[in-house]
Amino acid sequence: MKHIGVLGTGKTGSEVSNCLIENAYKITEFNRSNKFEHSKAKDLDGIICFLPGEAFLECFDELAKTKLPLVIGSTGYKLSEKQQATINSDTKAWVVSSNFAISMAIAKFCIEQIAQWSKSAQATDSIHEVHHKSKIDSPSGTALFWEQWIKNIKEGAKIEISSDRLEDVPGTHKYKATCPSESLEIVHTAKNRKIFAQGAVWALETIGKTSSTGLVDFFEMVKEHYTKGTQV
């Protein structure tokens, strides 16, 4: 891959552009002043999108027409069954995630282990997340991921989720399992948005080297590389 399209030039999208330039990629940025259309993608090798959720959905059909590998870091939306079917049947691989920190895949493993302990200890579970004030969705997509990971272990569990919106906070998430005699918790703190940009670029590079098609789980991608002992 040599030429990457970047949709969204906000705080995270700008970090993606910087990361790509640092790694000697040619980039084309798309935003309000340069609206994306599939005809503009003919010279691209892949696309990374960090548009707000609503804007991403507006571009969905045009993105699907490109037949290019995509990485989607947009949040605050939900793909319809029809859109999922489109991705799985008629596109190159799309890696869709609300969080592209590679360390989040390690957090997932830890969360699953804590949830297993919580289940046996009959503990109560809570998630607290903090993001910047301009983040629209609450709870965040990552918090909802964490909730689902816990419920995969503790089926039917009631999990309290609380949220704070402060100044320029890239993202902090805490899962705590509490029983009468003790508690166990894990915290993931993003110190800057570069980790999301680096993970998105890694994801695009990785799927670009494969023949994968359809929706691809970012966390499973990272897990597979760690299982193989491959550096990411």
Q: Read off the DSSP letter of residue 187.
A: E
Catalytic machinery residues: 131, 135
The H-assigned helical ranges of the chain are: 11-22, 53-66, 81-90, 103-121, 141-153, 194-208, 218-227
**DSSP letter at 138?**
S
**Phi/psi of residue 124, nearest 5 degrees:** -95, 155
For 178, the 3-state DSSP assignment is strand
Contact (CB, 8 A) for 143 and 99: no
* String of DSSP letters for 62-73: HHHHH---EEE-
Q: Which residues contact 98 (CB under 8 A, 6 or more apart)?
A: 73, 75, 140, 141, 142, 144, 145
